[in-house]
Amino acid sequence: MLLESQELFVRGSGWEKSADGFSFSDLLVTLGVLSLLLLLQISAFAHNKGNSHRAVCADNLRRLALSWLMYADDNRGRLAPNRSDSLVTNNWVDGFLDYSGTDATNLSKIAQAKLYPYNKAVEIYRCPDDQSAVRSQLRVRSYSMNAWIGDGASGWIGSPTGAFQIATNRSQVRQPDQTFVFIEEHPDSINDGMLYVDMVSIGPAARIIDFPAAYHYLGANLGFADGSVQYHQWLDPRTTPPMRYNNIFITLNIASPNNPDVAWLQNRTTYRK
């Protein structure tokens, strides 16, 4: 039985109600509120998912940093090899990433490398927000090592940068909590196992050689030489070119004058001898 005060009926082309009933305009308001709540819930879910992925990524880098420290402890302070070569082996990580070769999806390039014995989990080498793939198969690595750290780096950096320290022993890392070892690298920039920061070209002459990633709210996680992890949000849009998941869409080693992100990285890369 319907109470008259709650009856809702159609007369002509419009909705009508009794004094205490529910009008069409009330319905529209209610639907609008419900839609807004749904959008807020979806936004909150996406934000929470993003934070969750960032936390997983940070834990990956923490575990890699600890593996790096254990390797040094087992080798009288000598740091894990960090070489630049498309055919490199006997390195902190082996293989060369692109969007066509087999190295990018070959887990043995991680499992046969120097740090793997200290944490036998191949998944810690890839950020969950990294969707780069080769023939629909996710690539195996998202992280690179500071090019100024590790035996072998000097072969690529060369003599013009002799004023800055290349750390091959743990004792040469002067401020471990201010020296990054691992960093997320842009998926269209990553190739070998190192990310190079130009220490010589500063201020108006600054350059970006390799691009950091920006998976997490235009920022990246970095693992430091004391085993800690730090998140940093990039400030300059030149640091964060779009991710197109194709190496041909990004140019490396470009001028980026007065880029505050370059200065931030330089202050956490190495030091003048």
Q: Please report, for residues 88, 126, 179, 216, the alpha-carbon distance to residue 271 in angstroms, rounded to integers and kept in the order given.
A: 27, 29, 9, 28
Q: Is the pLDDT confidence value at 126 over 60?
A: yes
Domain that holds residue 241: 25-266
The larger pLDDT score, comparing residue 201 to residue 87, is at: 201
The continuous run of DSSP H or E covering 255 comes out as strand 254-255
Q: How many Cβ atoms sit within 10 Å of the Cβ of residue 260?
A: 12
Q: Take residue 224 and report the two structure tokens written for it.
A: 């430091």
List of E strands, 173-226: 180-184, 194-195, 207-208, 219-224
pLDDT more than 70, % of the chain: 77
The mean of the pLDDT values for the chain is 85
Residue with tokens 């120097």: 114
In a domain, 234, yes or no: yes
Mean pLDDT of 184-204: 95
Q: Is the pLDDT confidence value at 161 over 60?
A: no
- Quote the CA–CA distance of 145 and 193 in Å, as a whole number: 6
For residue 123, the model assigns a pLDDT of 97
In a domain, 14, yes or no: no
In a domain, 94, yes or no: yes
In a domain, 13, yes or no: no
pLDDT tens per residue, range 3-50: 444 444 444 444 455 455 667 676 666 666 666 665 655 444 444 444
Least confident of 15-19, 97-101, 127-131: 15-19
Alpha-helical runs (H) found in the chain:
24-74, 108-111, 154-157, 260-266
- Quote the CA–CA distance of 64 and 129 in Å, as a whole number: 17
Mean pLDDT of 172-189: 98
- Quote the CA–CA distance of 233 and 217 in Å, as a whole number: 7
Least confident of 10-19, 143-152, 220-229, 252-261: 10-19
In a domain, 7, yes or no: no
In a domain, 3, yes or no: no
Strand partners, 194: 145
Q: Take residue 55 and report the two structure tokens written for it.
A: 């936390």
Q: Are strands 137-138 and 133-134 parallel, antiparallel or unpaired?
A: antiparallel
In a domain, 245, yes or no: yes
- Structural domain tally of the chain? 1
For residue 36, the model assigns a pLDDT of 66
pLDDT tens per residue, range 199-242: 989 999 999 999 999 999 999 999 999 999 999 999 999 999 99
In a domain, 2, yes or no: no
Query: Taking the model in full, what pTM does it have?
Result: 0.81
Mean pLDDT of 237-266: 94
